[in-house]
Amino acid sequence: MYSKDELLSKNISELEDIANNIGAQTNPSDSKEVIVYTILDKQAEVEGNKNPLGTKRKRTRITKKETDKVYSVKGATGENFDLKKSKTTPATSQLPLFEEPVADSKDSKSAETESAEEATPKKRTRRTKAQKQADELAKEAAETIQEIAEMKPTPESTETEENQNIGETTETIAPLSANEEPSMEEPSISKKTDNTDDIMTATPEAQFALSDNDSEDGDIQADLIAQLQAKVNAHNEKIDESHEAGIAENKIDEVWEGDPGDGTDFITIVDLPIEDQTAMPNYDMFDNLTASVTNDNMFAVDEKQEAQYNFDDIITANGVLEIMPDGYGFLRSSDYNYLSSPDDIYVSNAQVKNNGLKTGDVIECHVRPPHDGEKYFPLTSIDKINGRTPSEVRDRMPFEHLIPLFPEEKFTLCGNPATTNLSTRIVDLFAPIGKGQRALIVAQPKTGKTVLMKDIANAIAANHPEAYLMMLLIDERPEEVTDMARTVNAEVIASTFDEPAERHVKIAGIVLEKAKRMVECGHDVVIFLDSITRLARAYNTVAPASGKVLTGGVDANALQKPKRFFGAARNIENGGSLTIIATALIDTGSKMDEVIFEEFKGTGNMELQLDRSLSNKRIFPAVNLVASSTRRDDLLHDSTTLERLWVVRNSIADMTSVEAMNTIGEYMKKTRSNEEFLMAINS
């Protein structure tokens, strides 16, 4: 069969072929939609002929094949279908062949008694041994009556005795048909035996006695025999039905012991479950059709479900680990600035312990798709940790126990012509930056510190590809973040000024932990922080009140964490270094900024000061050459450069920042490198 979507996807010629195959009548002028509905109607007609619904589906019992009617009985006046079904037309209603029978007064009374007994509702019970014995006795009585019918009747004296015996026999069978208790049936059995003996003793007299009313008496006896036979048959049918119902309901009586008899009782009917939903239509509790059978599922063939493909260890991922207080962790994505995101990867507690993982580890791993009930992609195997194998990282020395040294290797900023300019040449000569330097760029507003940081970062990235650069922007403008990410060859992690202070602190902490873990594995890491003043403000906002407040509203303990951040920069013995180049704001009109700068002023080992007077005159870079220097620059420059640089500094020592920058700038613009500049100055 074809579904509507399948037919709509075909063209008109194919639809006409399908219509011809199934015998649907179409016209050449019919549209595509008309042909589709014609085919669907024909398919439905064919399926309807195959599987006719017939009459409305009836509720059935579990074991009974035939339908049982549900009815209610209201006291003794209700209509009982079981009694109604068992009622038969008495034989006296049929006209005799010769003359109408004359019923005795006893017969009429017995008939009235029987009708009254039939009118009362009878309870349906299970068939017992006593009832089976009653059936056998009823059959014996019926056989005895038939033998009497075959014999000739006795004279009037005998006739009255026989009628009395037959009446007693009728009274014996009637209680049996009423399903009385076994204790009530025992007298009936004895009575029946006595009656049988009387009848047998009367039989010899009946063989020789003659009467004028033989034909009339025979008709009366035949009517009585027919009535007795009808009652016995109805009684047997009733017992059989109750026996079958008792078996179907697991031998549990259908009549509630506390039945009030007011018509509120009911029969519980249990439907057979339909295993194949496509074979039968769906009906609700009122036998109304609820949903039609779909054509797609009508002839669906059960196929073995193919085993799902195992995606474990196929998908690769990486991220920075953040361990939760409970011991498990997540790999944070740099796309979300290392904050919680849908791309997070779950790392179990056992994996953290077995591999010796720490917060900030950069992990390259394999993951699997989440199962039902799982929210994140779980980590299955680890390939690299901070660029090293897991076996090497497991026994690493903690960052706090590494031996710090003065910077001994300088970052060359003037090697690549693409990144060499006046700014990088001045910084490279007058304030060199070494691996493990703790540099502080002191700047006033609008002095070009952001552009200077971009030039330095691009120069380091071009000349030192082994170094890993991270640009951490705290409390900066969103447009500056975008510009920095597009123009700097480094990883940019930012938290703009519209974010809360908690976000500033969290991002800075993750970046610092990542840098420490990479240094533990022997990497050279450079962090550009813009600005450390804004970061200190964020820590001051987040830190709990200690009760000691410094000048400008700075808490006494608030600057401890930003000082730890800046103090983490160091050169490590036997490999690895962490360089932090941070900017500090001064002359902003805020007393808090002045206090923060004073706290960081003595912690750095390189200071590069920018002068607002130079930027106002559009002299860039606006570096104050007299105030800018590096501690222990003798470890970074060779002896020849140191001697020539000493001459230059001696000549500009008495100059102002503007005069010194103009003089040095003119000489540098005329030369192509710092070596050529030093040779020109000394000559």
Tell me the binding residues for ATP: 434-439, 446-451, 477
Q: Which helix (H) or strand (E) holds 476?
A: strand 467-476
Q: CA gyration radius for the chain?
A: 55
For residue 450, give both structure tokens.
């952001």
Distance CA(449)–CA(530), nearest Å, equals: 9
Distance CA(450)–CA(529), nearest Å, equals: 10
Q: Are 583 and 610 in contact (CB under 8 A)?
A: no
In three state form, how does the secondary structure of 265-284 look? Answer: CCCCCCCCCCCCCCCCCEEC
Distance CA(602)–CA(586), nearest Å, equals: 15
Closest by alpha carbon to 219, among 89, 90, 109, 96?
Answer: 96
SS3 26: coil
For CA atoms 199, 201, 206, 211, give the dihedral sign. negative
Binding-site members are: 434-439, 446-451, 477
Residue 335 CB partners (closer than 8 Å, separation 6+): 341, 343
Task: Match 């009622």 to its residue by tokens.
Answer: 87
Surface-to-core class of residue 18, CB atoms within 10 Å of its CB (0-12 exposed, 13-18 middle, 19+ buried): buried
Q: Are 424 and 413 in contact (CB under 8 A)?
A: yes
For CA atoms 622, 627, 632, 638, give the dihedral sign. positive
CA 443 from centroid of its chain's CA atoms = 54
Strand-pair category, 362-367 with 629-630: unpaired
Tell me the residue type at 479.
Answer: E
Q: What are phi and psi of 120, to 5 degrees?
A: -75, 135
Distance CA(513)–CA(399), nearest Å, equals: 10
